Structure 1
Amino acid sequence: MSTTSRYTPSTSSFGSPYVSLGLLAYLNSGKITPFHTFKDVVIPELQCHLSKVKKSLPNPQIKDEDTINDEVEKDNSNCNDDPHVIFGEIQNDLNSINKACRELKLWADRVNQEIQTLILQGLEDAFKERTEALEISLRIEQLERTRKVVSSLKKQICSSPQLSPDSLQSESLPQSRFSMRTDSLPESPGRKPEENINLLTNSPTLTEFKKKYKDLGDRQQKCLLCFSVFPENETIKKKVLIHWWVGEGFIDGEAAEETGNKYFNDFIDNGIIERVQKNNKRRKNSENCKMKPSIRDAIIKLAGKDRFVSFDSKGNPTANFSSCPRVCLVKTEDDSSLRDFTYIYHYLEHEKIQTLFNVNEPQLNFRVGRFSKMKNLKVLQLGRWRASARQLVEVEGTEFLQGMKKMKQLRYFSLRGISRITELPNSICELSNLRILNLNGCDNLEKLPDGIGSLKQLTHLDMSECYLISHMPKGLTFLSELRVLKGFVIGKQRSRGHYCKLADLAVLQHLKKLSIHVDRTSDEAKKELDSFPQFRNLRSLSVGWSSIHNAPIPTTTDVALATIHRIVSREKSIKTPGSSSQRVALDKLGLQNFPDFKMPDWLKRLNLKNLKKLYIRGGVLSDLSLTKDHKWTVKCLRLKSLRQLRMDWQELQPLFPNLTYVEKVECPELSSFPCDENGEWIRPESDTEQA
C-alpha cells in the first residue's frame, strides 16, 4: 500500500494546448483536485499563460522614486489600473498559493500515513482475535499500541497548518534541521511553531552571533552567508567555499586564496565554524569544517533577510530567484527544486541569476535554451561538494552544456564527480572569464577540448581521477595564469598526435601546485620526469603511478598556431634559465604507488631544503634514503601501505631529525614506532594543528 500519493509531471511543455485539453477533461471528470496536482500542473500552466500576456503588455514608463511616491500619495487607487501592477499582484498571490499547497500537501501526506498505520493496526488486532486466544496482558498491550497510533493521528489532524496571508509572505524562517527531508520540525513541549521561531530570534546564541556578524567586513559577511545552503552537521571542504567566493568575486586577485584562508581562520577563531577531526584521529583536518546548528540557523535567517538565497518555510534553500540572484538545487522526499526551476520559475528573467549551486540533486537534466539564458552566471556548481564520495550525481545528457558559450561572466565551474560525461563541448573554451574548472572524479571523461588554451584567466584546473584520459592537449601550455594543475597525465609516447609533455609546462611561471598521473608501463615517462628542475616556482608536487587507459590521442585543430605559441613560450623561458639556486624548492611532496625500491633519481636534482611534508603511499619502496649523507628537513611524514619498507624508530629519527608528526598505516615492517592506536605520533611540544 502506498504511503504517499506521487505525481510525475508531464515531459511535454506546459505551453502545449494538449495540457490545457487534459486539464479540461480532468475538470469535467468531477474529481477532487489534490494539492500536488494544483501545484505541479495548474499553477505552471497558468503562469505560462501569464508570461505570454506580460510580453504583450506595453513597456512601463520609467519613473524616479520621488515621482512614484508622489503619485502614490495623490491617488493610490490609480495603481490598480496599471497592468504591470496587476500582473505583479497576481504573481505574488500565486506564489503564496503555491507555498500554501506545498504545506497542505505535506500535512495531508502525514495524515494519510497515520491513517494507514491505524488501518494496519486494526487489521492486525482483528486477525489476532480470530486466530488467538489473547490473555489479559496481551489485550492491554494491544490497547496501548492502539492508543499511541490514535494519539499520533489526532496530533496530525488537529495540527493543520494555519496559512494566513501574513504567514505565507513572512520572511521569518523556522529553525531548520535541513536534513533533505520534509518531516515536521521538532517543537518545544507545549509551544506552538511560531513561538519556537521567537525563541530563536531572541536566543543568546543569535544575539551573540549578530555582534560577531556586524564586526565582519562586507565581503566577509557575504562569504559567511554561503554556509546557509549546506545541510546541518555536514562536513564542508574549505576549498569548495573558497572557490565559490572567488567565483562570486568576494575575493579576487593573486592573493585570493590567501585571503580566503584568512577569512576561514577568522571564522574559526570567532567560534563561527570549527575544524573537523579526521577519521577519529587526534589531528584535525584544516581543510574541512562544520558549523554548529544554532549558528547555522542564525545564518539562514540572515541570508533570507538579506535576500542572499531564497528559502522555503522549513529553511531549505530553493530555486526561486524572483528576489535573489542565487538558485539552489535541493532534492527532498517530496519535492525537487530542479523541477521547480524547470517548470515553475521558467517565466522569470534568467539573466538575474549569478550562482547555480547543486546541493543534493542526483539527476541533472537541463534544457539547452534555459541554460543559455543565464548570461550573467558567475558560479556553476553542478558536481559534488561533499568531502566524501557519498554524493552521487549524473546527467542524462551533455547537450545543455552547449548553452554555456554565452556565459561570459562565469568564473567558477565544477562538474566534480558527475557520471556519464564523456567529453566537454568546445563551447567551454569560450568562457573568457573562467578562473576555476573542477573536473575531479568525472570517471567517464575521455578527453579535454582542444581549445582549452583559450581560457587565459584560468588559475585552477583539476582533472584528477579522470582515469580514461590518456594524454593532455597542447593548449595547456597557453594557460599562463595557471597556479594549480591536478591530474596531468604522462602516457605512452605516440609517433602521431600533438599532445602536451611535462617539459612543456615549465613555461607556466605561476604554477605552484602540480599533481601527475604516470603510466608505469611507459619507458618515456622516466625521461619526462627528469624535467622537474625546470619548474622554478613549484611548491607542491604529487606523483602517482598506475596503468593508464590506452585511449586515442586527441587531435589539435590548428597545429601551426600551436607551434607558434610554443616557440614564443620557449623563448620566454630561455630568457630566465634555471640555475642551481633557482631550482624548484618544494614545500610538499607526495609519491603514490612508486614502482621502484629506492627513491627516484630526479628527486635528487631538486631543492628539498624547505620540504616540510612528505607523503608516501603504496608501491614497493624499501628505502627512504635519498643519498648517503642526506637528512630530510620534513616535519610531517605520512607512510601508508608500504609493505616492503623495513626499519625501526631508531633508524628513522636520524634520517628525519625535525619530525613533529608521523602517521603509519599498514606498514607491518616498521617496528618500535611510538604511534597510538590510530597510527599517529605527535611530538609533545609541537602544535598538533600545524602537523
Structure 2
Amino acid sequence: MPDSQCEEPITDFFNQWTDKFSRSTRPTNNDLVLDISGNLKEIEKSIASVTQWKKEVTEVFRKLSQDLEPKVPGNLRYIAKNVNKIKRGTTNTVKLPRVELIKSEPNNHRQLTTWKKLKSEETIMASPGMAMVKSTYDGLEPRVKLCFLCLSIFPENLAIRKRSLIYWWIGEGFVDGKNAEQEAEKCFKKLCDSGLVEGIYRQYSRSPHSCRLHPWIRWMAIEIAKETMFFDFDLNGKPIPYPSNCTRRACVATSRGEKEEEEEEEEDAELRAEKVNLEPNASKLRSLFNVDVNCIECDEDEFKKLKELVTLQLGRWSTAPEHHIELLNPTFLDHLKLLKKLRYLGLQGISRITELSGIQRLSELRVLDLRACHNLEKLPAEIASLKKLTHLDVSECYLLEYMPKGLGELPELQLLNGFVVNIWRKEACDLRELTNLNNLQKLSITVGKDAMQVLDPNEEVKDGVLEPIGDITGLQSLRITWGSTIENKKYRTRKMIARLSVVTKAVMRFKRVLSRVRQPVPVPAPDHDGDGAGAGAGAGAGARLSIITKALMKFRKVPRRLRLALRTPPEQPPLSKITLFLPPSLTKLDLQCYPEEEPPRFIRKEPHEKKKSLEKLYFRGGWLKSLRGIKNEEVSEVKFIRLGFLRKDFDMKKDDFKTKFPSLQNLQVVPRKDGAGTSSNCTF
C-alpha cells in the first residue's frame, strides 16, 4: 500500500477524535484538555516517525526483491524437482516391485494373460502405488503424456531403442521445429526422471540409450490409451491389428493366439508371413506401426489408399540384433510416392530393400530411417527435393557405396548418419556440400584410410577430403569411422595394367607358338634303303610335338605369374599424420577404427562467435598407441574421455591423462573382447 494511503486515514481519525473530545469537555477542565491535547500531538509525531521508518523499510525490501527476483524462481524449481524425485523414489522402490516376464520376447504376453485370468488387474490399478503413478502421469505436460502413450504398444520389460522413439515423436509432430532433436531428448529425460519409464544404460554411459516399461505401469498406459482412443488393445493387453476401434492409429501385430505362440517357440519355426489388413478405413489412417511381425506382406491396392498416413514404421525398434524383418513383397514400397502427407518413414533393419523409388515426392517427410538395411545399394539422386527433411539415417548400410549429390540443398537437415565418403565417383556427394547445412548438429561418416590425403594428377599432396568439416558451423557431434582402404585411382590403374600385361604377354606367346606349329616342318630326304620316308615322318611329328610341349610348359607358368600379380599390389603412398579440422560448435568427437598409432592433430580454422570447447573425446578400436602426441590447446577443455577396444600396448596411465588434459573429469576404458586390458572408470 502506498505511504500516502496509509497516512491519511490515521491523521483524519485523530483529527476527528480531537474535535469531538474538545467539544464534549467542560470549560472547567481546561488543564486536563490541554494535557490530553499535548499527548495527542506527541502521538501524532510518533506516528509520523513510524511512517517515515515504514518508507525506509519498504525501500530496503524493494531493492532486495530486485536482487533476488531472478534467483528465487530457479531455486524454487530446483527444490520442487528434488521433492518430486524423493516422492518418485519412494513410490518406485516401495510400491512397485519389479516383475520379470517368464521369457522376454516380443510376442510374449503370458504375464498379462495370467493377471487377466486371476482378475488381479483391478486390484493392481486400485493400489496406493498405482494411484501415485497416475498422479505423476497427470502432472506431465500434454506432449509428454502423448509421448508416454506411444510406449503402451511395446511389450513390458523389453528394451526399446531411444532413437526409434525420437523419430516417431518427431514424425507425429509431438516435437517439432529447429530444435526437435533436443526437445525429444527432453521428453525422454522427463519420462525417465518421472519414474514412469526405466532408462537402460550401456557400460559406463552417462545417459540411457533405451528404456523399458514396468508391467504395472504398462497396464496403466494401456487403460489410458484405450480411453483416449490412442491405440486399441485386446483383453490380454496385446495391440489389436487393424481394423480396430481406433481409426487414426493402427499396429501391425501377429494374429496368433497363445497356443500357436507356444507351439512356435517349441518347434522354433521359420518366419511366418503376416498380411497387413488395411481395410475398411485405410483412407483415414494416420499412423501405422509394426510391433512384432517379422515377415510382412501388404496388398499394393490397399497400400495406395493410405493417402492420409503421417507415420509409417515397419522396421525394428528393439535393440536386439536378432530382431530380423523381411518384406515378402517389397514392390508395394514403389507406391510410397502416393503418401503425400508422410512425415516419418522407418524401415530400419528390413532386408530385401535394394533401392527406394518415388520418395522424392514426399514433400512433408521429416525423418527417413534406413539404418541397417543391409541390401540397400543406393539412394535416389532426387533426394535433394525433400526440403523439410530433418533426419537421414543410413548407418550400417554396408552395400551403400556413395551418397548422391544434393544433400547440401536440404536446409532443415539436423542429423545425418552413415555418410559415405567416396572420392572416385563423379556422382558422389562431396563434404563441401554439407557446409551449406546451417542446422546440421550431428554427423557420422565412413571414410577410407587414404582419403585423408589424395594424390592429384600433378603428383602433389593436398589436404584431405575431411577438411570441409571444419566449415560446418552448427555441428555439435561428429563420428568418423575408418573403413577399408579406398585405393587411389592412379595406383588402381597401375594394378590393372600390371594384371593385363601378364595376360597379354601370355596370349602373344601362345599365338607365336600356334603360328610355329602351323608352319610346315622340313623333312629330311629319304634313304635309298627305303627306310627314309618313315624316319622323316617321325622326325616331323616329333618336332611338332616338342614345340607344343614347350608352349604348354611355358603357358603353364602364366596362371602362377597372374596369381603373383594379383597378390602383390603396387606400393601405396605413405600417409602422414592425420589432421582433423574441428567445427566451431563441436563438443563431442568420436573416432572409430583409427588407422594410426599417433593421435591426430586438431585444428580450428578461424575464430568464430559460436566457438565452443571440445568436451567429449572417444576412441574406439584402431591402432592408437598413445595420446601424448596431442600438442595444441583444442583439447585442453576435454572433460570426458572414453577409450574402447584399443591395442594391447596402449601405454598411458591415469596420471598421464590428468597431466595432458587438466579439465578431465571422467576417464572410461573398455577392454577388448579377447580379454586384453582391464576395464576402468576413473573420476577425477
Q: By the TM > 0.5 criterion, same fold? A: yes
Check whether the contact 1:639–1:663 (CA below 8 A) recurs between aligned residues. yes
1:133 aligned residue: none
SS of the aligned residue for 2:480 comes to: strand
Structure 2-normalised TM-score? Answer: 0.63
Instruction: Give the number of equivalent residue pairs.
Output: 465
Check whether the contact 1:469–1:549 (CA below 8 A) recurs between aligned residues. no
* Match status 1:529 vs 2:463: no
Check whether the contact 2:417–2:445 (CA below 8 A) recurs between aligned residues. yes
Alignment of 1:334-483 (within 5 A): 334=257, 342=276, 345-425=277-357, 427-483=358-414
1:595 aligned residue: 595
For residues 531-582 of structure 1, the C-alpha deviation after alignment (integer angstroms, 9 at most, x for no partner) is 22211111111111112799xxxxxxxxxxxxxxxxxxxxxxxxxxxxxx99
Check whether the contact 2:315–2:325 (CA below 8 A) recurs between aligned residues. yes
Check whether the contact 1:319–1:338 (CA below 8 A) recurs between aligned residues. no
Aligned counterparts of 2:595 and 2:606: Cα–Cα separation in 1: 20
Aligned counterparts of 2:111 and 2:278: Cα–Cα separation in 1: 29
2:661 aligned residue: 656
Aligned counterparts of 1:582 and 1:664: Cα–Cα separation in 2: 24
Alignment of 1:44-123 (within 5 A): none
Check whether the contact 2:273–2:295 (CA below 8 A) recurs between aligned residues. no
Q: Which amino acid in 1 is paired with 2:407?
A: L
Aligned counterparts of 1:582 and 1:597: Cα–Cα separation in 2: 20
Aligned counterparts of 1:649 and 1:201: Cα–Cα separation in 2: 51
Alignment partner for residue 327 of structure 1, among 238, 250, 264?
250
Check whether the contact 2:274–2:297 (CA below 8 A) recurs between aligned residues. no
2:184 aligned residue: 260
Alignment of 1:164-243 (within 5 A): 180-181=107-108, 183=110, 185=112, 187=114, 193=117, 195-243=119-167
Check whether the contact 1:235–1:387 (CA below 8 A) recurs between aligned residues. yes
Aligned counterparts of 1:431 and 1:511: Cα–Cα separation in 2: 21
Alignment of 1:515-664 (within 5 A): 515-522=444-451, 523-524=453-454, 527-547=464-484, 584-601=584-601, 603=603, 605=605, 610-625=613-628, 627-628=630-631, 630=633, 632-643=636-647, 644-664=649-669
Check whether the contact 2:601–2:630 (CA below 8 A) recurs between aligned residues. no
Which structure: larger Rg?
Answer: 2
Alignment of 1:24-35 (within 5 A): none
SS of the aligned residue for 1:448 comes to: coil
Aligned counterparts of 2:632 and 2:446: Cα–Cα separation in 1: 30
Check whether the contact 2:273–2:294 (CA below 8 A) recurs between aligned residues. no
Aligned counterparts of 2:582 and 2:617: Cα–Cα separation in 1: 21
* Match status 1:311 vs 2:257: no
Aligned counterparts of 2:170 and 2:385: Cα–Cα separation in 1: 20
Q: Which amino acid in 2 is paired with 1:591?
A: L
CA RMSD of aligned residues (A): 3.2
Q: Residue 199 and residue 653 in structure 1: after superposition, are their counterparts in 2 closer, same or farther (change >3 A)?
A: same
Check whether the contact 1:484–1:511 (CA below 8 A) recurs between aligned residues. yes
SS of the aligned residue for 2:191 comes to: helix
Check whether the contact 1:181–1:333 (CA below 8 A) recurs between aligned residues. no
For residues 362-405 of structure 1, the C-alpha deviation after alignment (integer angstroms, 9 at most, x for no partner) is 11221221111111111111111112323111223321112211
SS of the aligned residue for 1:206 comes to: helix
For residues 304-338 of structure 1, the C-alpha deviation after alignment (integer angstroms, 9 at most, x for no partner) is 12111111221111223442111212237547999
SS of the aligned residue for 2:465 comes to: helix
Instruction: Report the Cα offset of residue 491 of structure 1.
Output: 2.0
Check whether the contact 1:397–1:420 (CA below 8 A) recurs between aligned residues. no
* Match status 1:250 vs 2:174: yes
Q: Which amino acid in 2 is paired with 1:637?
A: I
Does 328-337 or 281-290 show the bigger shift? 328-337
Q: Residue 626 and residue 540 in structure 1: after superposition, are their counterparts in 2 closer, same or farther (change >3 A)?
A: farther
Instruction: Report the Cα offset of residue 486 of structure 1.
Output: 0.8
2:195 aligned residue: 271
Q: Which amino acid in 1 is paired with 2:386?
A: L
Check whether the contact 2:199–2:210 (CA below 8 A) recurs between aligned residues. yes
Check whether the contact 2:241–2:254 (CA below 8 A) recurs between aligned residues. no
2:212 aligned residue: 290
Q: Residue 347 and residue 333 in structure 1: after superposition, are their counterparts in 2 closer, same or farther (change >3 A)?
A: closer
Aligned counterparts of 2:617 and 2:301: Cα–Cα separation in 1: 49
Aligned counterparts of 2:428 and 2:612: Cα–Cα separation in 1: 33
SS of the aligned residue for 2:464 comes to: helix
Q: Residue 541 and residue 392 in structure 1: after superposition, are their counterparts in 2 closer, same or farther (change >3 A)?
A: same
Q: Which amino acid in 2 is paired with 1:225?
A: L
Q: Residue 606 and residue 460 in structure 1: after superposition, are their counterparts in 2 closer, same or farther (change >3 A)?
A: farther
SS of the aligned residue for 1:499 comes to: coil
* Match status 1:679 vs 2:676: no
* Residue ranges of structure 1 left out of the alignment (5+ in a row): 1-174, 551-580, 684-691
Aligned counterparts of 2:177 and 2:377: Cα–Cα separation in 1: 32
Instruction: Report the Cα offset of residue 437 of structure 1.
Output: 0.6
Aligned counterparts of 1:428 and 1:391: Cα–Cα separation in 2: 26
SS of the aligned residue for 1:297 comes to: helix
Instruction: Report the Cα offset of residue 348 of structure 1.
Output: 1.1
2:6 aligned residue: none
SS of the aligned residue for 2:418 comes to: strand
* Residue ranges of structure 2 left out of the alignment (5+ in a row): 1-99, 262-270, 456-462, 488-580
1:61 aligned residue: none
1:574 aligned residue: none
SS of the aligned residue for 1:542 comes to: strand
Check whether the contact 2:583–2:604 (CA below 8 A) recurs between aligned residues. no
Q: Residue 521 and residue 369 in structure 1: after superposition, are their counterparts in 2 closer, same or farther (change >3 A)?
A: farther
Aligned counterparts of 2:389 and 2:612: Cα–Cα separation in 1: 30
Q: Residue 665 and residue 348 in structure 1: after superposition, are their counterparts in 2 closer, same or farther (change >3 A)?
A: same
Q: Which amino acid in 1 is paired with 2:661?
A: F
2:88 aligned residue: none
